[in-house]
Chain A
Amino acid sequence: MTPLARLGRAATYAGLILASFISVFPFFWMVVGATNTSAELLKGKTSPGGALWTNIANFWAFADMPRILFNSFFIAAVGTLLTLLVSSLAGYAFEIFRSRFRERLFALLLLMLSVPFAALMIPLFIMMANFKLINTYQAIILPGVASIFIIFYFRQATKAFPHELRDAARIDGLKEWQIFLHVYMPVMRSTYAAATIIVFMANWNNYLWPLIVLQTNDMKTITLTVATLISAYTPDWGVVMVGATVATLPTLVIFFLLQRRFVEGMLGAVK
């Protein structure tokens, strides 16, 4: 190695180590912060303190936590289930069935992929108010169920679904919905797994739409509760860090258990 190449190598490592440190530090800060008092946290204390149990107790007392966690899990789980069902069905059909309008319709969907949510939220809010659905689970879940991104994802993935399987099932006399349910879904389970991760995460982390639609404390999600914690005049930062840890834990666990699927899901429809 020439001295110049060696210098380049050193610079690469230095850059990567610095970037890794910056990437991981806020996680460390969050966990250590959960053990410190608000005053210690604001002074930048980076060593573990003795306030963990007090912070957890205060967090627990701030709202009906079992209810809040149930809200988050329920919305994310039901939302994911419905989204995968409706959107994978559509993605599958777009690839399998021919129709004169298919490509034009699909192009229209792709065009709508870039419609910003900001332009939908006011009409959606008024619609939900008219349907008397403000402050309900339905209002949170329904607008996301037909996801263009997931439709697109499944159409792409269906290109790899073997023709022969479908033909054989047809010869065996299976109806189209049976083929979808009993042949397609089991064969495509890794696609479903990757899509589950991204949809679940998006639902779990959603902020703006729940902020608009959920109004009472007993309907709030964990994400909204954490945001509510810091809107106090003087937030208790130790408690905020407990909340942030609880809000991050499920997605962090999913990530470490299913790292490859997780990344596949993110790369998603682009392949």
Chain B
Amino acid sequence: MAQNSLARRGELNGWLFVAPALILLGLFMIYPILWSLWMSFQVGRGMNWSFGGFANIMRLAQDPVFLRALTNTLVFLAIQVPIMLILALLFANALNDSKLWGRALFRTAIFLPCVTSLVAYSVIFRSMFGQDGVINQMLLALHIISNPIPWLADPFWAKVVIISAITWRWTGYNMIFYLAAMQNIDRSIYEAARIDGVPAWARFWHITVPMLKPVILFTTVISTIGTLQLFDEPNLITSGGAPSDSTLTLSLYIYNLSFKFMPSFGYAATVSYVIVVLVGIISFLQFLAARDRRA
């Protein structure tokens, strides 16, 4: 009897404690996400809507700007995420060596970009990549290039700048996750391998990488979700997706559809659900991989 009332008291208190969070999440997350699903079936401009069925989805397939934004986003994803994660893994591996001189200094330096705001680092990058800018000056001085590269004016190089920028900002962040995980690996495994004469690269490939699989999976998913929502960098570094939409991303397109000129909220909501579906697919794949691991 006493046990029962204590349990009820616990349950009531539990609900009271989570109530503020649940009410706010309902209001600012569940309600909006359902509303934008409903909205994605509406057509019209401004506040004049009517039910359009699948009209918006049909429009996606014929909208060259959407297709370009989708392609750009996927290109950023496919190139940037692997480069960044491999670099992070290599740096973490180098810094995990306790005999390395200046470890703390290197670690702090490589982590430092994570401290900047996306806006601040974006404007800094934009100022470095001008035609006569500091990056071209340095590359010319080192004889790596013989003519200045039109970084922000050329569709290909503009993509390179965006990819370099994101890699600069987030490599140290991922490295920290790997370092933390590496510190949990039992030292004696490495000692045994060393005594057996296993070379350093093989120890990295056959011990470190397999042991880090869960963290690598986790960082892949968060980086992928982050890149799918890319907005600040192309809005600021390449002034809203220039040149000729070569760095336009899905988030940027949604923003343009909603808040520039006459808003098409319905169609913008449809585009936003493309991101929802992509994120959903990736989360589902992660779920499958995590389940396999446990089995």
Residues of A within 8 A of B (CB): 5, 8, 12-13, 15-16, 19-20, 22-24, 26-27, 29-30, 33, 41-46, 86-87, 89-90, 92-94, 96-99, 102, 109, 111-112, 114-127, 142-143, 145-146, 148, 151, 176-177, 180, 204-205, 207-208, 212, 223-224, 226-227, 229-230, 237, 240-241, 243-244, 247-248, 251-252, 255, 259, 263, 266-267, 270-271
Contact of A123 among B24, B36, B254 (CB under 8 A): B36
B241 contacts A by Cβ under 8 Å? no
Decide if B205 is an interface residue (CB 8 Å cutoff): no
- The answer to whether B133 and A146 have CB atoms under 8 Å apart is no
> B268 contacts which chain A residues (CB < 8 A)?
122
Give the chain B neighbours of A266 by CB distance below 8 A. 114, 173, 176
Neighbouring B residues of A124 by C-beta, 8 Å: 28, 32
> Are B124 and A119 within 8 A (Cβ)?
no
> In the complex, what residues of B have CB within 8 A of residue A24's CB?
109, 112
Please give, as numbers and ranges, the residues of chain B lying within 8 Å of A16 by CB-CB distance.
91, 94-95, 102, 106, 110
B75 part of interface (Cβ distance < 8 Å): no
The answer to whether A33 touches B120 (Cβ under 8 A) is: no
Flag if A46 contacts B134 (CB, 8 Å).
Answer: yes
CB-CB under 8 A from B14, the residues of chain A are: 93, 96-99, 102
If A97-B10, A267-B177 touch, whether A90 touches B229 (CB-CB below 8 Å) is no
Selected from B100, B102, B171, B236, the residue in CB contact (under 8 A) with A230 is: B236
B268 to chain A, nearest CB (A): 6
A120 touches which one: B17, B18, B33, B180 (CB < 8 A)?
Answer: B33
**Extra contacts besides A208-B251, A251-B117, A266-B176 (4): CB < 8 Å:** A20-B105, A30-B124, A259-B108, A267-B180
Specify which chain A residues have a CB less than 8 angstroms from the CB of B254 in the assembled complex: 118, 121-122
Among A117, A123, A227, A270, contact of B123 (Cβ-Cβ < 8 Å): A227
Given known A-B contacts A89-B18, A98-B7, A267-B176, A247 and B119 have beta carbons under 8 A apart: yes
A-B contact count (CB 8 A): 253
Q: Which of A145, A176, A244, A255 contacts B124 (CB 8 A)?
A: A244
Residue-by-residue, is B148-184 near A (CB-CB < 8 Å gives 1, otherwise 0)? 0000000000000000000010011100110010000
Query: Hey, which chain A residues are within 8 Å of B225, CB to CB?
Result: 114, 116
Bound CA–CA A90/B20 (angstroms): 8
**A248–B117 alpha-carbon span in the complex (Å):** 7
Interface residues of B (CB under 8 A from A): 7, 9-11, 13-15, 17-18, 20-25, 28-33, 35-36, 39, 87, 90-91, 94-95, 100-102, 105-106, 108-121, 123-128, 130, 132-138, 168, 171-173, 176-177, 180, 200, 215, 218, 225, 228-229, 231-232, 236, 250-251, 254-255, 258-259, 265, 268-269, 272-273, 275-276, 279-280, 283
In the assembly, what is the distance between CA of A204 and CA of B23, in Å?
25
- Given the interface pairs A23-B172, A227-B123, A230-B123, the reply to whether A208 lies near B232 with Cβ below 8 Å is yes
Q: Least Cβ distance of B22 to chain A in Å?
A: 7
Query: Who on chain B is nearest to A5 by CB?
Result: B200
Would B21 and A26 count as touching, CB distance under 8 A?
Answer: no
CA distance A87 to B132 in the complex (A): 49
Residue numbers in B under 8 Å from A227 (CB-CB): 119, 123, 236
Q: Given A142-B24, A248-B115, A248-B120, is A120 in contact with B11 using a C-beta cutoff of 8 Å? A: no
Cβ of A94 and Cβ of B18 under 8 Å apart? yes
Complex CA–CA separation, A244 to B259 (angstroms)? 25
Give the residues in chain A near B35, CB-CB below 8 Å.
Answer: 123
Instruction: Point out the residues of chain B lying under 8 angstroms from A46, CB to CB.
Output: 134
Per a CB cutoff under 8 Å, which of B87, B112, B117, B269 touches A205?
Answer: B117
A44 with B133: in contact, given A16-B94, A118-B275 (CB under 8 Å)?
yes
CB contacts (< 8 Å) of A119 on chain B: these are 32-33, 36, 269, 272-273, 275-276
Nearest-CB distance from A161 to chain B (Å)? 14
In the docked arrangement, what's the CA distance between A98 and B23, Å? Answer: 20
Distance in angstroms between the alpha carbons of A16 and B15 in the assembled complex: 51
Q: Contact check: which of B109, B119, B127, B283 meets A241 at CB < 8 Å?
A: B127
Q: Quick one: which of A127, A148, A259 contacts B25, CB cutoff 8 A?
A: A148
Whether B28 and A26, one on each chain, are in contact in the complex, defined by CB atoms closer than 8 angstroms, is no
